[in-house]
């Protein structure tokens, strides 16, 4: 499975460049003190800058020389099976289009500012990418079971998209859903946000909301901690699909479940 698409850099318009520039400048300022150190390092390696929409050839060269991952250009959201197959092959899906200027702060579907700016820098971190790949293997093992995929999705959501990490300098953001949102980048580290220690069982048990700031954020101490949680994630998902009555293709998105496990 491959999409056979590529970034057509010379087709970007003046509006695209302006959108990238405005989003980049705003996030660069907000994230300077808030983003995880490995994200900032990855951004520097990829030489992201305000005046220049990220060039996938350059991003791929950096990924090749660090973790061996690469970008797979996709048209937009893709089916779960394609998504996890790509991750298992060390390819991270990204769109190439940018949101229009008139909806700078609102996105119905992730554009390349989210997919590329917010996701690519951390793909230079070895434990983080090993975690992603291992998570994709669990998903593929149970790809036809809607409950299992929902549960993998919860873990992905509260780590890869909305995760926080405790660093020597303080709490920082590594989740791409936060990193591409100026409002949530500020909110998640503020006094009102509900921050909790990373807890696989708790994440698996509760459903989440997509259209607002998160009602909770989970804090890891290292990317190694994520990777080392994989056996527990797999065990608890296996337990859930055997214990929770469900049809293989039923809608389980809003289901709160109870797990006994470790
Ligand atoms: Fe994302």
What is the chain's alpha carbon radius of gyration, rounded to the nearest angstrom?
18
260 CA distance to ligand 1 middle (Å): 30
Instruction: Look at residue 211 in the predicted model and tell me its pLDDT.
Output: 79
Say if CB 102 and CB 24 are below 8 A apart. no
Instruction: Look at residue 217 in the predicted model and tell me its pLDDT.
Output: 98
* Burial environment of residue 194 by CB neighbours within 10 A (0 to 12, 13 to 18, 19 or more): exposed
The whole-angstrom separation of Cα 90 and Cα 210 is 26
Instruction: Look at residue 110 in the predicted model and tell me its pLDDT.
Output: 92
The whole-angstrom separation of Cα 262 and Cα 217 is 21
Instruction: Look at residue 258 in the predicted model and tell me its pLDDT.
Output: 80
77 CA distance to ligand 1 middle (Å): 10
177 CA distance to ligand 1 middle (Å): 6
136 CA distance to ligand 1 middle (Å): 14
Residues in the chain: 262
126 CA distance to ligand 1 middle (Å): 19
Instruction: Look at residue 257 in the predicted model and tell me its pLDDT.
Output: 80
180 CA distance to ligand 1 middle (Å): 9
The SS3 call for residue 70 is strand
Instruction: Look at residue 256 in the predicted model and tell me its pLDDT.
Output: 79
The whole-angstrom separation of Cα 260 and Cα 258 is 7
Instruction: Look at residue 261 in the predicted model and tell me its pLDDT.
Output: 59
The whole-angstrom separation of Cα 217 and Cα 137 is 25
Instruction: Look at residue 1 in the predicted model and tell me its pLDDT.
Output: 60
- Interacting residues of 129 by C-beta distance below 8 A, sequence separation 6+: 67, 69, 90, 123
243 CA distance to ligand 1 middle (Å): 30
The SS3 call for residue 220 is strand
pTM, to two decimals: 0.95
157 CA distance to ligand 1 middle (Å): 9
Task: Give the residues of the chain that fall short of pLDDT 50.
Answer: none
137 CA distance to ligand 1 middle (Å): 18
145 CA distance to ligand 1 middle (Å): 22
The b-or-e profile of 22-56 (16+ CB within 10 A means b, else e) is ebbeebbebbeebbbebbbbbbebbebeeeebbeb
Angle, CA 219 vertex, CA 217 and CA 221 arms, to 5°: 170
């Amino acid at each position: 499975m491959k999409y056979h698409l590529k970034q057509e850099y010379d087709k970007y318009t003046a509006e695209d460049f302006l959108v990238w520039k405005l989003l980049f400048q705003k996030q660069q300022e907000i994230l300077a003190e808030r983003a995880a150190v490995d994200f900032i390092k990855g951004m520097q390696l990829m030489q992201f800058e305000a005046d220049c929409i990220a060039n996938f050839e350059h991003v791929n060269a950096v990924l090749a020389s660090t973790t061996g991952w690469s970008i797979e250009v996709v048209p937009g959201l893709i089916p779960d099976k394609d998504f996890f197959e790509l991750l298992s092959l060390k390819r991270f899906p990204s769109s190439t289009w940018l949101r229009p200027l008139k909806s700078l702060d609102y996105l119905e579907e992730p554009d390349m500012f989210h997919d590329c700016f917010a996701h690519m820098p951390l793909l230079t971190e070895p434990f983080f990418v090993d975690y992603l790949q291992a998570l994709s293997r669990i998903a593929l093992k149970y790809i036809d079971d809607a409950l299992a995929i929902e549960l993998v999705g919860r873990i992905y959501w509260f780590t890869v998209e909305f995760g926080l990490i405790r660093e020597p300098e303080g709490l920082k953001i590594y989740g791409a859903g936060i990193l591409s949102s100026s409002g949530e980048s500020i909110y998640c580290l503020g006094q009102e946000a509900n921050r909790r220690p990373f807890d696989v069982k708790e994440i698996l048990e509760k459903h989440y909301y997509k259209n607002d700031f998160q009602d909770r954020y989970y804090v890891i101490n290292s990317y190694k901690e994520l990777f080392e949680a994989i056996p527990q994630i797999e065990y608890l998902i296996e337990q859930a699909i055997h214990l929770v009555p469900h049809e293989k293709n039923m809608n389980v998105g809003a289901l709160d479940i109870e797990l006994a496990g470790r």
